[in-house]
Each structure stands twice: as structure tokens, then as C-alpha cells.
Structure 1
């Protein structure tokens, strides 16, 4: 007889304890192969596809799209060892597998996956995809255990009276949204996503689309807002202080936002941080970048960004001041200095602030760093960064100049020891070679863990960075 096995949400690493179901990739009644992705989930760090270690027929799914499940919670059940022909004899074990059920992943059997695929081809089953009509009804030996929802007739193989098969039942797929956070925002404000036209790529519904729908609201809501505004105007004209009752909104600290909140709170509690600043003349750096990119063609490669140049400068500075490429272990009462430089950079995405990591940055050229920055940025905007892309950093570069601000005192990315901040580059009056001139000036800041070093080391690091910005030729010494 077929054996029903339960597949639970696996440990996704890096201390993650839960994940949100973004999209189911299989339906009840589908045949799955060993290691076939069955569900797409979003953790606090990335969206990943979860493969099932069993091959067989899906008999039940647990959890709707948008639901959060803890690690170890059931995801689905799979009937393994069921033959394609209902009348054929069933042997739930292979002759030489040592008693392992058919369809269970066995690393010592390399041919098992090929046999499973061949069995699926001969069975004639048709997978039902999202947003498509279900296949004509086929009789399947499916015995649901603890089903999380009713199985449509087209999937269960039941026929209508008169001997004809039931008409195809439409399986409504998930609404194409750019992030599960957008879906949650819509649920909290009772916004019907299916009534919205997405403004994102390929019709994806963005957060701005949902917020616009919330702002528009039904006629009654608009009337209520107007009444409240009218009452506030009356109170102001009467010399009274306008009063408001209740909360405007509530937003749970989950997902990326929750992870950021936890890390920043821990950083502020544990790290005695200090910040120093310096203004630097970036005119020569801009000229050097223009010279680099002048000869670049589409065949040669991608143009070098300013962020890549600041990353390369940071790597050179950490080579001179390696104590800033470290972390503090208070239980062992020691400073742990790292041999490799894994350079993180802050990036704003629709999912919130993320910090992808350029690994082994000390071994990379400027072009290599630039290419990796581009790759990680594109993956971040698409929501495809993996946990490995977002962890293991030893030093962070924060380019807040892209937001049009000059300076900042950022919170250190725990458990790192320092963060370099880069403000916007703007034309300013500047004394250059003894004369007043208009130069392109940038404000640089270094926030550092005062347990790791004192102001002299931090100041030396920041001064070297500023010197490389003002005289890019200094980098030739360390290239």
C-alpha cells in the first residue's frame, strides 16, 4: 500500500524561525518528483522555493497563501509508492533500499530521481497550474489526510451524473503582487486586490497601488473623512485644539521590517557607538570615474558606479586599519578580527531596507565589485536574494546620498564594528590650491564600535578614505 508522508517546513538557516507562504507551486492530486519545489515562502531575509524530499502524489496542503508558519509545521502530505495502475500490485519498498519507502530521497540511490521521472511520464497525470483551467477529471487514488481545504471535483476525479465528467473548474491563482507585504497591507485595509490594476512590471500590484486604493476608499469612508476634516476646521476657527480619537493605523513588525527592528534594537543596546565626520573634495574622483567610463562599450562591460569606487576605497582603508573589520564577543571578552572582507551595502527595496553582501571583496577588482553590486541590487529589487546574499557581512557601506541628504548617524549593522556613510555630492565653495573655487564636495561619516578602537584609529581610517576621494591615485598603491 502507498505510504503517506508528511513534509514539514525545514530549517531555512541563519536562525530563522518562521516563513510566510507566498505561492503554492503544486495542487492536491499533483504528482511531484523528489526535490521538486512545491511552495515559495518568504522569510525575514529572502524569498525561497522549498523542495520536497519525497516523490509521489500530493494528498493535502496546510496553510493558505499569506499565512505564516513556524519551522517544523506541516506543509503538505505526499502518498509515496502508489503505482500508476490502480489494479497493479503495490510493493511499498524497493528490493534493495533497505526498507525506505518508494519516493523518499535516498542519496545512495542516484538513479531514483530518473526512475521517478519516468514513472510520472507513464502515469499520464497532468499538473494543474495557477490561473489556468483544471485538466479533465482523471481517477486518482488520492486519500487526503487532514486537508486544509476542499478538493475541487476536477481534481478529485468525481464525475457528474449521467456518466459525463464534470466541467473544468477554474482554479483561481494568487493575485500578482510585488511583495507579500503588499498582500498583507491589502488584507489589513479590506482592499480587494483582484479589483486593482497593477502599475508594476507585467501588471504587478505595488504598495503604491494598494495605498492609492486605501486613500480612495468607498464613498462612505470619503464622507467620513470630510466630516472629520470639517469638524477640525470648526475647532480651529473657534480657537480650540483639534482632537482625534483612536489610532490611524496599525502595522505589525514582521518580515523584513521585523528583522530590521530586532537587529537595530540589539545594536543600540549592545554597541557603544561613536561617529566622526569629514568633508572631502570629490571633484577628482568624479573625473576619474568619467575617464574610466569614457571608453566603456556595451561589449566591454558595465560602467563603474560611484558606489563601486567607494567600495573599493573602503576595502583599501580596511587593509590599512583591519581592526574595523571585526566584531566583539563579550562572552569571551575578545575582539574577533576577520581575515576576509565581506562588504555589505544598504539598499532600499519595495520589501524594505536590505543589506546584500559582496563576499571576499579584498580579492576583487573595481570592475568585479561593480558587477557584484549590480547583480545583488537587481536580485534585491526582484525579491530573489538568498539568505547567503544577506548574511555574513563584516563591514557596511551606506550610501544615503541617494536620498538627497548630506549626513547621517546610522546604527551599526550588528554584530559588525563599523559603517561608512556617504552623503550626496554637491557643488560648494571650496579652497582649492589656495584659491576659492566651486568644487564637488561630499560628506563622509564613520560610525564605529568604541570597544574595538579609539578615535585615533577611526579618524585615521576616515582621513585615508577622504584622501583617496580627493586623490584617487592613492589607490594605485593598494591595487
Structure 2
């Protein structure tokens, strides 16, 4: 390749991700060497210390090099992908002639060169970081089309195969058109190249977790017919093959109990048990490292205290049912009602809507309420933040909660949405537990948690009755207030849960 041809290539470096982030881990390449990419087409999925995002390339052309492999950390400013313009005939001809059909770095002889006008870079940096794109799907799409005899990629067939293999309900799996040139998402470049070269009957595996478990358990994926949409192989298929959680003799009574462990932890534990390993090493980086650092700092710096009380939530559940019956088109969640109660409580007890500035020796109370919602995701515990919830009505708050938690679990929240909270609400009842003593989300000063709501005997007007009972707890920084303030806040919350009229009277 001549120096002139090489000079026309454009190298896209890992962009500045903001929020003090200096590196990212490559999760999966969405393209392979030889693919044609368009401006702003996502080319790689990376995990930062804040979130998982798609990185779009600002250049159009043919991919000539991928820098880095899945699992590798790349510093900001280092090359990610090299792209050559499509109208560079010398480049294509040179690579076709020198590499030949057997050269993986070049195009097969006789390859028909795609021609399209190269568009200028748009300046967009990251999907989910302010570009015009909607949230990217988190599932990976299979490409089943092979290269034709001349080596030309069947783009239309790729698009159809990608859409057909998607689960029902996926944004592009329900008949919605796939844009021309949309990337086929793959777990790694070599698997993608292999399928394009004619392995049409390759097993459909869209999860890197399933691939890893198959390798560790010595399972031949090509011998498995997946139970997922389009024959997609799931983790449950591997478990059934090896007599794992679905058939390991643990008892029929436990079969219906959901596995509430994070996917990464469950995979590591199960894989280690099957392989008979003495130790499992899980790298502490990315989102997991950020969580560990933040919780460790909170425990070191904050003298936290937890108080709790049992509440009769029967009235709150009845209130929610009445609201949803009156406006079925705008239902509200129980978490939204609890968030509304928190807002009212923080207005009455602003000492808890605060943080401690240790360097200045100051307690800073915020006049705005930025509510964090603890959400368990496959990549760890995240606390997305809803800003200025004191300005929202209950319906708007419920909609914002649903949208935000869904984005957090899908991994599409930008880093800015994971910082800046002033108070956190944690619904640990979804894990089937009654109580907890959680660690405060540093640098906040307090966290309210609620356990599961279950039928319990309760004394009502001197008579025993069965009521919907839950335990609520408040963990607070003893530096910002004493027990009187914290107890007053928790008692106010409990009164609102038991008698929602108290909330209405204080709105």
C-alpha cells in the first residue's frame, strides 16, 4: 500500500467520554474488517465506569483495521478503527490484488467495490451522549447472509436475517424497517467474518455470557437447538444440557424461585461450580469498580445510622388503585407514590436533602430535590437520577421513573444521568426481603428503603386484622442531623403511607 493511499485513510480515536472518564473497555465490535460503514454508524460497544454505550464513527468508508479486542481497555485518544474512503480505487484494487481470496486482510479477487458518496463527519461523538440517535438496542443481531461468489456482501439479505433473528418486541424485530447500512451487531469480529464467509448454519448466540459458559462447560453450541426466538441459544439451554439450575435435583419446590443474582455474578458462580474451579477471578473495573470505590468511600467517610419502622400500607395500595381506576391511561406506580412522599418529607426536613463538604467543613443543603433511584442491572447497582422532582406531579414522576429505570437496565443512560443526586430511594422489596441497612450513596446524606409488602396480622382499632404490612428504613449521615430530625422524617413518611390523606394535606 503506497504512502498516498495510506494518507487517505482516517483513524477514529476513542473520544473524550466526559465526566472525568479516561478509558473504556471494548465489549463487542459491531463491524468487521472489510465492512462498509456510514457516518454516525455505531461500530463498537464499550463499557465505561458509568455506563455501556455505542460509539458511532464520524467517517464513512470501508473498515481496514480494528484496534483492540473485546475485553481490552482502551485509553481515550487511542485508535479505535481505521476507515478508507470508498472512492479510493487504488486502495481496493491494491488490497484485492495483493491479498487475494485467501488474504483475510484484503478483499477477494473480483470483489465488486461499493460506490457511494462519502459524507463529512457529523461531529457526533457517542450514542446516548447527546447525538440525535435513539437508545440503541442491547441485544445483538445475527447476520446470516453469506458473501456471493464474487465476494460481494448481500446487504439486503443481511438486513432481513438480522431482523428475523431478533426477539419479538425488539425495536427492529416487529416488522419495523431496518435502515440501509445499519450495522449487524456481533460479539467479535472473527465470528462475524466466519458467518459472512458462508457458515449459514452457525449457532445463533447473541450473548457473550452464553459463549463463555459454553466454553467453560465444554459444550458444542452447534449441537444445541436454542429455545429462544429464531432458535437463539439461551443460558437456560446450557443449563438443561449440563443438568444445571433447571435440572440439578435441588427440589421441585425451588424450581419456580427466580435467580435474583446479577447475571455476571450468577454466570461466574455457576461456571466455577461446573468446572470444579477453586477460585473465580472477576476483574474489578468499569461500572463494578466505580460502585466499589463509591461504596468504600461512603463507608469510610460517613458515620451512618439506620432506623426503621413497620407500616400498614393497606391505605396506600387502596389509594393507588383508586388513582389508576380514575385515570387508566396514566397509571401511577407504587414507587412513584413513595417518591412523592419523600419529596413532601424532604420539604419538611431539608436537613436530609444535603451533603457534607469535608474539605470546607460545611453542610450544604440543596433547595432542589434530585432523586436517585437504586436499580439493579446486569452490570451492577446503578442509581439514575431524576432532577427537580419537586416540580413534577405524581403522573409525571411515575412516567419519569419507568423510563429512567428501563434505560438504566438497558445500559443506555448517559453518565450525566448517574450523578448529582441529593437523596436516594431504594425499593429492596423487589428482592423478596423485609429490611436492609444500605450504604449511603456518597456524597448524599440519606437513603430511604422499603421492603416487600406482605399480609401480616395487625391491630386495627383494638381488633386483630390482616393488613398489607411493610418495613421502611432510613439510613442517614449523623453529621447532618441528629436522631430527632431523622426520626421525624421517617415517622412522617410512615404516616403518609398509612394515611395518604396526610400527604394530600402537606402537598
**Do these two structures clear the TM 0.5 threshold for a shared fold by scoring above it?**
yes
Aligned CA-pair RMSD: 3.7
Matched, 1:284 2:329: no
SS in 2 for 1:344: strand
Greater CA radius of gyration, 1 or 2?
A: 1
Q: Which residue number in structure 2 is paired with residue 465 of structure 1? A: 493
State the alpha-carbon separation in 1 of the partners of residues 195 and 323 from structure 2. Answer: 61
Distance in 1 of aligned mates of 2:191 and 2:468: 65
Partner of 1:343: 371
The answer on whether the counterparts of 2:31 and 2:44 sit within 8 Å (CA) in structure 1 is yes
Closer, same or farther: CA 396–210 of 1 in aligned 2, 3 Å: farther
Query: 3-state SS of the aligned residue for 2:452?
Result: strand
Identify the residue that residue 33 of structure 1 maps to in structure 2. 38
Q: 2:145 aligns with which of 115, 126, 132?
A: 132
Give the equivalent residue in structure 2 for 1:47: 52
Q: Displacement of 1:285 after TM fit?
A: 1.0
Alpha-carbon separation, structure 2, partners of 1:151 and 1:475? 57
Counterparts of 1:188 and 1:52, CA distance in 2:
34
CA displacement at 1:191 relative to structure 2: 5.4
SS at match of 1:424: coil
Deviation at 1:77, TM superposition (A): 0.8
- Separation in 2, partners of 1:184, 1:315: 45
CA displacement at 1:428 relative to structure 2: 2.8
For the residues of structure 2 that align with 1:27 and 1:151, how far apart are their CA atoms?
A: 7
State the distance in 1 between where 2:402 and 2:320 align. 16
Q: Deviations over 1:157-210 (max 9, x none)?
A: xxxxxxxxxxx54599996445x5555555555555555555566665555555
TM-score, normalised with respect to structure 1? 0.71
Q: Contact (CA 8 Å) 2:53, 2:411: kept in 1 or not? A: no
Render the CA deviation track for 1:6-35: whole Å, top value 9, x for unaligned.
212223233444433333232323333332
The correspondence for 2:28, drawn from 23, 29, 39, is 23
Q: How does 1:30-179 map to 2 (within 5 A)?
A: 30-80=35-85, 83=87, 86=90, 105=121, 130-135=143-148, 136-137=150-151, 169-170=198-199, 176-178=205-207
TM-score (norm 2): 0.67
Q: Gapped runs of 5+ residues in structure 1?
A: 88-101, 108-127, 140-147, 156-167, 218-244
**C-alpha distance in 2, partners of 1:451/1:312?**
26
Relative to structure 2, which stretch is displaced further, 183-192 or 42-51?
Answer: 183-192
* Unmatched segments (≥5 aa) in structure 2: 92-117, 124-140, 154-188, 246-275
Contact 2:203 2:222 in 1 (8 A): no
Instruction: Check conservation: 1:422, 1:444, Cα contact below 8 A.
Output: yes
CA-to-partner distance for each residue in 1:348-393, whole Å, 9 max, x for gaps? 3333333232232211111112122222333344343333443332
> What pairs with 1:426-445 in structure 2 (closer than 5 Å)?
426-445=454-473
Which of 444, 456, 475 is equivalent to 2:484? 456
Residue 257, structure 1, aligned to residue 288, structure 2? yes
Tell me by how many angstroms 1:433 deviates.
3.0
